[in-house]
Structure 1
Amino acid sequence: MPTREPVPERVWVFDFDGTLSSLVADRGAAALLPEARELLSGLVRLPRQATAVLSSRLLDDLAARVDFRGLYLGGGSGAEWLLPGGERRTADSKTRRLRHIRSAVLPALERLREIPGVDLEDKRWSVAVHVRQAAPDERPGVLSFLESLVRTTGIRLLRGPEVFEILLLPEIDKLFGAVVLCEMLRHVPSPGSLVYAGDDENDTMAMEWVIRNGGIALSVGAETLIPGVRLVDGPSALVREVRRLAGLDEKG
């Protein structure tokens, strides 16, 4: 029988956009920062530890941007996973309901394209409504439209930096992904054993769960997302803090 991987003593989980990469106007140009790549490379070599990147991006999109071995990659907020050995796992029990919701919601969301500067990003399990290029006086109307759609369809609305994110299945968020990851790893969170880093509302549910279980949550940006997190003011500061926590030699 094949030998099972040992249960990791510590699990590191990172959001991608704004956490391991800089936020950019062109989301297609988002790239893993060199210092973040070096950090992840160091973490995957640590014994009895597991490292994951968890994003709402499509899994294939994420995998193309974080393209080296040893990582657990979660797309669709953890509905889809690529494991270090190449195995893919998907929340198959959710796909039928997802198809139904998509057929009901996507045609309505397409109406937002009529607003100058609004862009839709279909990520299968969610849809990002980007308003970075929209005029400030157009944004309240976008929010009002989305809130109405939430009330009539049961989808879920999250807010990020210059973007609204629609979770097509309300339960599929980063908390879902973090729990699925720990279940796959057979890791039972204990004080100090789980570290999570992120920068927007989708990350906060996972952060709250991590904190409740005695772990460390790192909030990337100018303001703390929720009480109890440790604030780091950007991706480079995050790298320095994680290197310190992991005992890796700090650059410079």
Structure 2
Amino acid sequence: MEETSVRDLPRALGNEDLTRRLAACRPAVFLDYDGVLTPIVSRPEDAVISDGMRTVVRDLASRCPVCVVTGRDRAVVQQLMGVDDLVVAGSHGFDIWTPQRGSVSDDRVARFADLVAAVTERLRTETGTIPGALVEPKRASVAVHYRLVDPADRNRIEAIVQTLLTDHHGELKVTPGKMVYELAPAINWDKGRAVLYLVDVLGLDSADTVPVYLGDDITDEDAFRALRGRGIGILVGRPDDPEMAGRNTAAEFALASVDEVERFLTTLAR
């Protein structure tokens, strides 16, 4: 599938082609959380959505379907947002909840609960002597953040993760992100598959509906690829951001920042 250098993406704001495509159909909006609805922060618990963004998301949800697709634990992101009536796919789409049906993934989550608990405990123990390492437990996965770890010690985090993958060969997979490793059960599931599942479950596959996905991380590329030819992918981030350096993307458009996301969503909500 053709991909584009991040630096060559056209801007979404004020883009005539994008405006025409959105005017012809009802959007169904899928939003990553960190880096899209809130800026990236050093400590995950500090990523609380702003009042302005919360209002915009609520306004948009009153006009069209809105779903949050995040690497975060589902319950945690619902708490951080202060919004409990949106569809949320947590743990990279592994843990899906809808206001109408509740959890639609409890069986899948429960099947791997013991594995996730054991890996979480080992990560806590083995990274406990590394200053700045943060372990984030989730219902269906566990993340270890190293943004606050001294660069000289970051290889120790990687070594611990690799050892866990070896010890649980065939049971675990790792998803790298922005200064984070996510360890999850090794099943064929990701944000892209979660979005396609939601499009089907929520009845969003009609000709007059266009899925629009906003994301910033490598994990969001699965969703951009899944929607190519049937939806619109928008990458959030600046081309000069070191974490975007050399990156190609399956997204079609770009927004530079969370502030631009808020402006873009405001236009959709009108």
TM > 0.5 fold call:
yes
Q: What is the aligned partner in structure 1 of residue 106 from structure 2?
A: 92
Range that drifts further, 10-19 or 26-35: 26-35
Alpha-carbon distance, 1:184 to partner:
1.9
Residue aligned with 1:141, SS: helix
Q: Distance in 1 between matches of 2:48 and 2:78?
A: 11
Residues 9-24 of structure 1 aligned to structure 2 (within 5 Å): 9-24=26-41
Number of aligned residue pairs: give it. 236
Residues 9-158 of structure 1 aligned to structure 2 (within 5 Å): 9-46=26-63, 49-68=64-83, 70-85=85-100, 87-102=101-116, 104-110=118-124, 111-153=126-168, 154=170, 155-158=172-175
Alpha-carbon distance, 1:131 to partner:
0.7
- Please list the CA deviations of residues 211-232 of structure 1 after superposition, one character each: whole Å capped at 9, or x if unmatched: 2x33111111123661343221
Q: Distance in 2 between matches of 1:62 and 1:231?
A: 24
Q: Distance in 2 between matches of 1:96 and 1:83?
A: 18
Q: What is the aligned partner in structure 2 of residue 229 from structure 1?
A: 252
Amino acid in structure 2 at the alignment position of 1:35: G
TM-score for both structures, normalised by structure 1: 0.81
Q: Distance in 2 between matches of 1:45 and 1:103?
A: 38
Alpha-carbon distance, 1:199 to partner:
1.4
TM-score for both structures, normalised by structure 2: 0.76
Alpha-carbon distance, 1:168 to partner:
2.9
Alpha-carbon distance, 1:40 to partner:
1.1
RMSD over aligned Cα atoms: 2.6
Alpha-carbon distance, 1:136 to partner:
0.1
- Please list the CA deviations of residues 196-218 of structure 1 after superposition, one character each: whole Å capped at 9, or x if unmatched: 1111122111121012x331111
Q: Distance in 2 between matches of 1:96 and 1:72?
A: 20
Distance of aligned partners of 1:32 and 1:148 in 2 relative to their CA distance in 1, 3 Å threshold = same
Unmatched 5+ stretches in structure 2:
1-24, 239-243
Unmatched 5+ stretches in structure 1:
1-7
- Please list the CA deviations of residues 117-145 of structure 1 after superposition, one character each: whole Å capped at 9, or x if unmatched: 21111112111111122110111232233
- Please list the CA deviations of residues 158-201 of structure 1 after superposition, one character each: whole Å capped at 9, or x if unmatched: 22222222223443432232123222202227697010111112
- Please list the CA deviations of residues 99-157 of structure 1 after superposition, one character each: whole Å capped at 9, or x if unmatched: 24225533432312222221111112111111122110111232233234324423222
